[in-house]
Amino acid sequence: MLKLLALDRFTILLILMVVLATILPVSGSAAHIFGVIINVAIAILFFLHGAKLSREAIVQGILHWRLHAVVFAFTFIVFPILGFMAKPFLLPLLGQEMYWGFLFMCFLPSTVQSSIAFTSVAKGNVAAAVCSASFSNLIGMFITPVMVSLFIFGQAKHDYDPTSSIIEIALLLLIPFIAGQLLRPLVFPWMQKVPSIVKCFDQGTILMVVYGAFSSAVVAGLWHQVSALTMFYLVLACSVLLTIIMLLAYYVPVWLGFNRLDQIAIFFCGSKKTLASGVPMAQILFAGQPLGMIVLPIMVFHQIQLMVCGVIANHWARQNDKETELDSETITE
């Protein structure tokens, strides 16, 4: 029993972050300061990822077009198809505005930092995850508004400017990553002496993102905007969607012949949706609409995906550690 609790320690921390955000959400100026702290942590995380990865691994990740194509297909084709298929069931249960939010969520790009962090925790192909998640988020700045215009409003909208989001991604993720690469000869020897540092930043950053994201949802009136029954339907719909997409993201890469490291990267990059980019886009694309109802599905889905991915990533990490340990014992014998 104690062993089981030890194995699920990170999961327990994730749950505690949700409970803490519900009881004591960060808001106002404190939320702004906490957001800055999260951004600094993310920048440090990507600096460490840049220092950790060899140049050869990064080049191989960039050139891994099959993996990127699969992640793109899950993010911008499979997710929307599932969203459309769910309309006959969800529209009567959630109402028009919340179903718009559910469909909008299906149009969003993948997360960046958590996809890469979970891939790293699970011992997957981090180089490919960096390239794939970043590409998904960048191209999503253009594809998502077009899909919203075509499939939700049925008319074009031209007032969405993705420049600021692209600049933010470059400043927060790409530049620290490149800096880590350039300073790798100096930083990597130190990292080898303290191998747990990247793992601590991976998990610590995820915990902060969970707390910050759920705090925003609580402050925005998460528990007051909808009835308990509607909330149950929404949580159920998000859970079913995540289950279906995760099953596909788990088995399809296996059927396509990807190795284990690539399977992990595809699983985490292809099964998640971004809250960080989703809310700002919603504020512009759905101006004049009931924004709270529209962003609620991505808020709920975001919490569920982080919780589930945290459990899976740590389970796979333990599996990998056990396999490595067995291989070492076999070689020794």
pLDDT at residue 216 is higher than 90: no
- Average confidence (pLDDT) over 160-185: 74
Q: What is the pLDDT of residues 16-30, one digit of tens each?
A: 887 898 899 998 889
Number of domains making up the chain: 1
CATH number of domain containing 305: 1.20.1530.20
Let me know if residue 228 belongs to a domain: yes
**For residue 4, what pLDDT band results from cuts at 50, 70 and 90?**
very low
Let me know if residue 21 belongs to a domain: no
Let me know if residue 11 belongs to a domain: no
pLDDT at residue 249 is higher than 90: yes
Where is pLDDT greater, at 185 or 78? 78
Range 260-275 burial, b when 16+ CB lie within 10 A, else e: bbbbbbbbbbbbbbbb
- Average confidence (pLDDT) over 258-275: 94
pLDDT at residue 90 is higher than 70: yes
pLDDT at residue 254 is higher than 70: yes
Let me know if residue 20 belongs to a domain: no
Q: Residue 182: which domain range?
A: 28-318
Q: What is the pLDDT of residues 276-297, one digit of tens each?
A: 778 777 877 776 676 777 888 8
The predicted structure's pLDDT at residue 146: 84
**For residue 324, what pLDDT band results from cuts at 50, 70 and 90?**
low
pTM for this predicted structure = 0.72
Let me know if residue 328 belongs to a domain: no
The predicted structure's pLDDT at residue 267: 97
Where is pLDDT greater, at 247 or 323? 247
Q: What is the pLDDT of residues 112-145, one digit of tens each?
A: 778 988 999 898 998 889 888 878 877 887 788 8
Let me know if residue 296 belongs to a domain: yes
Rounded distance between C-alpha atoms, residue 111 and residue 276, angstroms: 8
The predicted structure's pLDDT at residue 145: 83
Let me know if residue 53 belongs to a domain: yes
Q: What is the pLDDT of residues 96-110, one digit of tens each?
A: 889 999 999 999 999
Long-range contacts at 234-240 (CB < 8 A, ≥ 24 apart): 234/94, 234/98, 234/102, 234/296, 234/297, 234/300, 235/300, 235/304, 237/86, 237/89, 237/90, 237/93, 237/94, 237/102, 237/297, 238/102, 238/297, 238/300, 238/301, 238/304, 239/304
* Average pLDDT over the chain, rounded to an integer: 82
Let me know if residue 199 belongs to a domain: yes
Distances in whole angstroms, Cα of residue 207 to Cα of each of 261, 270, 294? 24, 21, 25
Identify which of 164, 122, 162 has the alpha carbon closest to the alpha carbon of residue 271.
Answer: 122
pLDDT at residue 224 is higher than 70: yes
pLDDT at residue 275 is higher than 90: no
Diameter over CA atoms, the chain: 69
